[in-house]
Structure 1
Amino acid sequence: MEKVIKKIHELLSDKKAQDIVTLSLFEVTTIADYFILATGTSSTHINALSEHIEKELAKEQIFPRHKEGKRNGEWVLMDYTDIVIHIFNRETRAYYDLERIWSDAKYIEI
């Protein structure tokens, strides 16, 4: 699992995602083991980030169970079962403030 999380961080960094954070949800919920949060600078950037992750993880036979939000360009959610990736624009990330909502989760340093 750590290898995939590190790969996702690298893919986000490759495409200049901002404010990348990983939260461990093991002790908080059963909906996922990890959330990875990142900020894109525009709808085009957000879509490019999500497409890059999906394409590169598919090369390793890792596919999302569910993906949503691409149409509006403010927030893309990619559900890889144990890892859920949220890519936001700055305003939407601040509005939903998942770091505050999941404040009981542990931050993971990558």
Structure 2
Amino acid sequence: MSYNSLDILNLAAEACDDKRAEDIIALDLAQVSLVADYFLICHGTNERQVQSIAREVKEKMEENNIPVKRLEGFEQARWVLVDLGDVVCHIFHKEERAYYNLERLWGDAQTVSLEVGQE
């Protein structure tokens, strides 16, 4: 099966949700940046959870034959970046997320509604 970037975004969001990531949001960067089509941003409350979320994203991509181009920051688990090409998943520790505030930094980007079970 072939996946487009929106499919990959939703698969990654589902993986984050499966590991109880908090405040999962997606930004549509297609009109504002050449970096990626989408940023997926979420956080965990401790290092172990951050690693668990990142591991789940990586495993879900591998199960679906979607290449993980890069995974950075896993050991420190304060800000893990999972590069899926057109989708970049940012998994923060709660404190780092507040500090870096990517949502504000990329404020020109529209948010994308996700297919995960958010309240």
The two structures have a TM-score, normalised by structure 1, of: 0.96
Maintained 8 Å contact 2:25/2:40: yes
d(CA) in 2 for partners of 1:44 and 1:28? 33
Q: Percent identity?
A: 35
- The partner residue of 1:21 within 17, 21, 25 is 25
- The partner residue of 1:59 within 34, 56, 63 is 63
d(CA) in 1 for partners of 2:6 and 2:86? 11
| 1:6 and 2:15 correspond | no
Secondary structure of 2:57's aligned partner: helix
The alignment of Structure 1 onto Structure 2 pairs a total of residues equal to: 110
Task: Name 2:117's counterpart in structure 1.
Answer: none
Secondary structure of 1:46's aligned partner: helix
User: Any stretches of 5+ residues in structure 2 without a counterpart?
Assistant: 115-119
Maintained 8 Å contact 2:27/2:39: yes
Letter in 1 for 2:47: S
User: Any stretches of 5+ residues in structure 1 without a counterpart?
Assistant: none
Letter in 1 for 2:38: Y
